[in-house]
Structure 1
């Protein structure tokens, strides 16, 4: 791993919403995603987590958001990051940095539309004890 913190979008929780009422939108689960935590520390009331995320070709993080800011960079593959307006809000190849803002108003998804695995380095800066991500329903996009 390089000395610079290169981080990528990723990290969707593997749980789907269960027990929801009929007619309620459901979260979109991740597909083809694996991850390894490389480092974790808590300073004061903030967790800093460095994670390597791999998304297989055809895979997706599922729609989600984070309770804190994420800083990411692609190490391998192409970036296909979409916001809640169904617009691609990130594109590029290896070394491309992205920042994911905190909060439920920043729902997004990363899709691997390429032919090789995406490998991302992600630094999560979260309120202590927060989950890595929060599942969210598809905001109405024709994919996922």
Structure 2
């Protein structure tokens, strides 16, 4: 899987070579920041490479995506939870995550560490879709 994701990342860089466009959504959690590194539309699909930073003790907020997202942890550790409140993965620096998509895959990314979490994420979305769709907390004792 890692080889396939690396190949996808190389292809994404080739596709995204060109002028970056403005972001059309913002991260949901307090203090979470994101910047667009590259963006390209091919046919009906937007390919966007973003750098996302989550401060210690903060989270992305509950959400889902309208298309697949592939990310690598550049710094810190991502603790990822699904709508059952269970951890569906812990990803330290250097690890890759591929997120499912659609309203049936509500999830949250949390930084439970004491250093900033930095992700480099490739969004493959239907043209014009937001980076994420906000979702209510599904009843978990954390945000």
TM-score range, shorter chain: 0.7 to 0.9
Larger relative contact order, structure 1 or 2 (CA cutoff 8 Å, min sep 6) = 1
| Greater fraction helix | 2
RMSD of aligned residue pairs (Cα, Å): 1.6
1:48 aligns with 2:44: no
Which residue pairs with 2:20 in the alignment?
A: none
Contact 1:32/1:58, CA 8 A, preserved across alignment: no
Contact 2:26/2:34, CA 8 A, preserved across alignment: no
Which residue pairs with 1:135 in the alignment?
A: 134
Which residue pairs with 1:65 in the alignment?
A: 64
Q: Which of structure 1's runs of 4+ aligned residues deviate more than 2 A?
A: none
What TM-score do you get using the length of structure 2 for normalisation?
Answer: 0.81
Name stretches of at least 5 consecutive residues in structure 2 with no aligned partner: 1-5, 11-24
In structure 2, do the counterparts of structure 1 residues 142 and 135 end up closer, same or farther at CA, with 3 Å as the change threshold? same
User: What count of residue pairs does the alignment treat as equivalent?
Assistant: 122
Which residue pairs with 2:14 in the alignment?
A: none
SS at 1:32 equivalent: coil
What TM-score do you get using the length of structure 1 for normalisation?
Answer: 0.80
